[in-house]
Amino acid sequence: MTQSPATNASSIPSTANIEESQKIAHVTAKDFSIYYSSKEVVKKINLDIWAKKVTAIIGPSGCGKSTFLRSINRMNDLIPGCTVTGDLSLNGTNVYGKRIDITALRKTAGIVFQKPNPFPKSIFDNIAYGPRLHGVTRRPELELVVEKSLRQAALWDEVKDRLPNNALSLSGGQQQRLCIARSLAIEPDILLMDEPTSALDPKATARIEDLISELRGKYTIIIVTHNMQQASRISDFTAFFYEGVLIEYDQTLPLFTNPSKKRTEDYITGRFG
Amino acid sequence: MKITTRKMLDRSFSSFGLFSIVLMILALLVILVPIFKRGSTAIVFNGTVEHRRFLLERFERGDEQEMASEITAIQAAQKPVYDMIEHFENRQRKYLDALNEPLTKLAKRSDSIGRLTKRRLKRLDKNKPFLTNVKTIQKLTDRLKGHVDSDNIQAEIEQLDATIQKIETQTKNLVELKEAIRELLGPAPGETRPVLLRKQYGQTRWDRAQVKLHEVLYIEKWDYSNEGMGRKVFEPRVEHFRGTEIEPLFDYMETNTEAMLRPQLTFYWGFLTDKSMDIHIFGGIFPELLGTVYLTLGAILFAVPMGVIAAIYFSEYARPGIIISFLRICISTLAGVPSIVFGMFGLAFLLNGCHLPKGVLAGSLTLALVILPTIIRSAEEAIRAVPRTYREAALSLGASRWRTVVTVVIPAALPGILTGTVISMGRAAGETAPIIFTAAASVAATLSLNPLQVWDQPTQALSWNIYNLCTEHEAANEIQHVLFGMTATIILVVLFLNLFAIILRARISKKLKGETT
């Protein structure tokens, strides 16, 4: 952190230290912009997000990081007046292409939101909601999926005896893990997390972080966070957004120890934001 | 602002609020308590032996042997009354017979008096009612007075006239008395059975019996001696019969009414499940209750699906714009339209336009229109209140919009939708104007219990019949307990529906929030 930002002038993602076999671009953005009505909130972003890695997106409030995240599985479609330009592809398919099947897209890219948002249904029905949508209807199959997802989300031991109970009776941290399990139940390739721990206490946060570490290598994870310690703890790569612009994108360790841009350094040292 | 001022304001506001709530509750009590008090008399009252006899004969409820012994008892108690009347009647007959001799003498005359008398006397007939014969002779003597040409028979004729006048007055009084007694005790023994059901029985209720007893004992007259308003006065009927066999009858009846009618505390639960007989003089209000249930359920059946779908469209699909705003204003306006307008619409469109028969279907559809705006608005509010995060969660898992609505939004909005529905049900149950032209009939066959058979049947309904019986019934006074019973029933129906709504809402909300285990 003490090094000069001038040592690395490039804003192009540095991949020098990654082994060749791991360099598979999962999400690719090319000159990708997002507008709310006429306001450009994400400005001409170019980046590759690597498969099976944890990528953190950091930046001050209102910098467009959540907007970008949500655009990956087109959750921004819900916001009236939201339009995009440029290219964004997932697994090589244009996310905003004309023939895209949004249901299939969202099955590929699951999302976990800032506030835990389980349905007001039973724990079982929460997890089974996705599989049911995608055609799994037989009870034994559903039970298998539910158990597998809950185990993956490290929630199984806590809830296995009360699957018929309402999901809202769980604690906040449990609810968030339930939401992760719910996303995992549709077997996505990529897991988008929009500040998943900002509404949780430190203990629950730690559990979620452990969970993310466990999921590392199985899924491509993109996590938006305000918490820089968290980003440094759990991510392989970090992207820094500022006012809709991608300022810097690098492996986490170099970015935090040796940021190439002044703004990045200012932000991670706490001079603003 | 100073803290003391603020505290004072705060306190005055809360006390004002409390005061208005107390005022509201008081107003409610002032209205409801008398209605329930009088309405309950439809079910709990002092029933006479006539009530039990009616139930046994018409609804086959009660013990036949007990009834037989009861009837023997009341007949024994009533016997002196009818005996006195019979004696009196015989006396009158004798008086009339005594006129036979002078009249035949007159008939033998060869002048016009003789011819007139002869002609008139031929009209007398033992089979005709006594009073008719009396009147025939009275007319004769009246005519004769004009024919008198010599003094020697004038005195005779005038005496005849005076006698017959007296007999006529007494007979008339007796007929009135007998009518009053018949209303109280039912037909006299040996009398031919009257056609009208209400004349076949005496008073079934002790409170009504006392009114009728008063009518036996006193004659209602109007005193116009004062300037302007007339005054109602009661003249003891006994004055008409001073010095006759009937004089003791009045005292006897006054002291022995209980023995003659045997009142006892009765719980008539059949009020809610019996059909009415002779337009609510007897029986219960089951046809009305059933009609109201059919109409209300029918209205809900049509209005809820339409209303919920419209609400889903408004809140989930419609893009905000001029058209949607306009539609919203229309719906709000519709909610405020007087219900008679809906009734007229039902008449014009459903009956005259679509040629639907006047019946449950047309009535239900009209009621559905009345409650539709309320259902749309409440469902829309409930759907809007569902957190956005639920929708996001469902959509993010790949659900389509429709699937999200059906599997997540509607279940979460259910408490609100149900509350709106049940409150609308209360409204539909109470509405009168929309069904006047489209479904209501003051007299109709009781609806079948099979819903498929009733769609084209006109029906009674509580709301309509309360109004109709109050204004149109020829004996509205006699069936006040039924009217209040109906009113209390409809209030109870609405109260229970609302209570049901509150409980249902609480239970579903609790379930949604995961508070139940």
Q: How far is B413 from chain A (nearest CA, A)?
A: 11
Choose one of B168, B195, B212: the last residue of a domain. B168
Which pLDDT tens digit goes with each residue over B371-416? 999 999 999 999 999 988 899 899 999 888 899 999 999 999 998 8
- Kindly report the average pLDDT of chain A as a whole number: 85
Q: In the prediction, which pLDDT does B144 show?
A: 80
A106 touches chain B (CB under 8 A): yes
User: What is the C-alpha separation between B340 and B370, in angstroms, rounded?
Assistant: 10
Q: Is the pLDDT of residue A197 over 50?
A: yes
**Quick one: average pLDDT of B210-228?**
87
Instruction: Kindly determine whether residue B398 and residue A134, on different chains, have CB atoms separated by under 8 Å.
Output: yes
CATH architecture of A21-268: 3-Layer(aba) Sandwich (3.40)
A101 touches chain B (CB under 8 A): no
User: What is the C-alpha separation between A35 and A75, in angstroms, rounded?
Assistant: 14
- Which residue segment(s) compose the domain that B123 sits in? 74-168
B517 touches chain A (CB under 8 A): yes
Q: Is the pLDDT of residue A273 over 70?
A: no
Q: How far is B392 from chain A (nearest CA, A)?
A: 8
Contacts of B405 in chain A (CB under 8 A): none
B396 touches chain A (CB under 8 A): yes
- The sign of the CA dihedral B278, B283, B288, B294 is negative
Selected for mutation to probe chain A from B386, B397, B409 (highest A CB count within 10 Å) is B397
Who wins on pLDDT, B516 or B403? B403
Q: How far is A224 from chain B (nearest CA, A)?
A: 17
User: Dihedral angle at the C-alpha atoms of A118, A124, A130, A131, nearest 10 degrees?
Assistant: 170
Instruction: Kindly determine whether residue A78 and residue B407, on different chains, have CB atoms separated by under 8 Å.
Output: no
Q: How buried is A154 (Cβ within 10 angstroms: 0-12 exposed, 13-18 middle, 19+ buried)? A: middle
Name the residue facing B390 among A102, A117, A169 (closest C-beta): A117
Q: What contacts 24+ positions apart, CB below 8 Å, involve B76-79?
A: B77/B256, B77/B259, B77/B260, B78/B185, B78/B260
Same domain flag for B164 and B286: no
User: What is the C-alpha separation between A191 and A193, in angstroms, rounded?
Assistant: 6
Q: Is the pLDDT of residue B18 over 90?
A: yes
Name the residue facing B392 among A110, A117, A167 (closest C-beta): A117
Q: Which helix (H) or strand (E) holds B165?
A: helix B151-185
Which pLDDT tens digit goes with each residue over B315-356? 988 888 899 999 999 999 998 999 999 999 999 999 999 999
B352 touches chain A (CB under 8 A): no
Instruction: Kindly determine whether residue B395 and residue A165, on different chains, have CB atoms separated by under 8 Å.
Output: no
Contacts of residue B112, Cβ cutoff 8 Å, sequence gap at least 6: B147
**Quick one: average pLDDT of A174-185?**
92
Instruction: Kindly determine whether residue B396 and residue A78, on different chains, have CB atoms separated by under 8 Å.
Output: no
Per cent of chain B over pLDDT 90 is: 49
Q: Is the pLDDT of residue B296 over 80?
A: yes
**pLDDT band, residue B192 (cuts 50/70/90):** confident
Are the CB atoms for B270 and B61 separated by under 8 Å? yes
Instruction: Kindly determine whether residue A186 and residue B412, on different chains, have CB atoms separated by under 8 Å.
Output: no
Q: Tokens 């604690």 appear where?
A: A171
Q: Which helix (H) or strand (E) holds B282?
A: strand B282-283
Name the residue facing A133 among B390, B399, B515 (closest C-beta): B399
Which pLDDT tens digit goes with each residue over A118-152? 998 899 999 999 999 888 889 999 999 999 999 88
Q: Is the pLDDT of residue A2 over 70?
A: no
pTM to 2 decimals? 0.80
Contacts of A117 in chain B (CB under 8 A): 387, 389-390, 392-393
B349 touches chain A (CB under 8 A): no
**Quick one: average pLDDT of B277-298?**
90
Q: In the prediction, which pLDDT does A129 show?
A: 93
Q: In the prediction, which pLDDT does A143 show?
A: 92
- Kindly report the average pLDDT of chain B as a whole number: 89
Is B234 within a domain? Answer: no
Which pLDDT tens digit goes with each residue over B255-273? 998 999 999 999 999 899 9
Partners of A82 in beta bridges: A36
Q: In the prediction, which pLDDT does B398 show?
A: 87
Name the residue facing B514 among A113, A130, A169 (closest C-beta): A169
Q: In the prediction, which pLDDT does A8 show?
A: 41
Is B245 within a domain? Answer: no
B321 touches chain A (CB under 8 A): no
The neighbour count for residue B92, using CB atoms within 10 Å, is 20
Tokens representing B256 are: 């022995």
Q: Is the pLDDT of residue A6 over 50?
A: no
Contacts of A165 in chain B (CB under 8 A): 514, 517
Residue of B nearest to A115 (CA): B389
User: What is the C-alpha separation between A184 and A217, in angstroms, rounded?
Assistant: 14
How many inter-chain contacts (A to B, CB under 8 Å) are there? 78
User: What is the C-alpha separation between A223 and A57, in angstroms, rounded?
Assistant: 6
Q: Is the pLDDT of residue B516 over 70?
A: no
Are the CB atoms for B157 and B141 separated by under 8 Å? yes
Contacts of B407 in chain A (CB under 8 A): 129
Same domain flag for B160 and B290: no
Residue of A nearest to B411 (CA): A120
Instruction: Kindly determine whether residue A169 and residue B517, on different chains, have CB atoms separated by under 8 Å.
Output: yes
Which pLDDT tens digit goes with each residue over B95-151? 888 888 888 888 887 777 788 888 888 888 778 888 888 888 888 888 887 776 666
Instruction: Kindly determine whether residue A113 and residue B389, on different chains, have CB atoms separated by under 8 Å.
Output: yes
Instruction: Kindly determine whether residue A166 and residue B390, on different chains, have CB atoms separated by under 8 Å.
Output: no
> Which of A187, A190, A184, A196 is closest to A220 using CA atoms?
A190
Are the CB atoms for B174 and B85 separated by under 8 Å? yes
Q: In the prediction, which pLDDT does B241 show?
A: 87
Choose one of B134, B168, B202: the last residue of a domain. B168
Are the CB atoms for A53 and A220 separated by under 8 Å? yes
Contacts of B397 in chain A (CB under 8 A): 106-107, 110, 129-130, 133, 182-183, 186
Residue of B nearest to A133 (CA): B399
Length of chain A equals 273
Domain with B501 in it: what CATH number?
1.10.3720.10
Same domain flag for B162 and B307: no
Residue of B nearest to A73 (CA): B396
**pLDDT band, residue B245 (cuts 50/70/90):** confident
Instruction: Kindly determine whether residue A168 and residue B513, on different chains, have CB atoms separated by under 8 Å.
Output: yes
Q: How far is B434 from chain A (nearest CA, A)?
A: 40
Domains contained in chain B, number: 2
Q: Is the pLDDT of residue B229 over 70?
A: yes
Instruction: Kindly determine whether residue A166 and residue B511, on different chains, have CB atoms separated by under 8 Å.
Output: yes
Same domain flag for B161 and B288: no
Q: In the prediction, which pLDDT does B151 show?
A: 66
Instruction: Kindly determine whether residue B517 and residue A78, on different chains, have CB atoms separated by under 8 Å.
Output: no
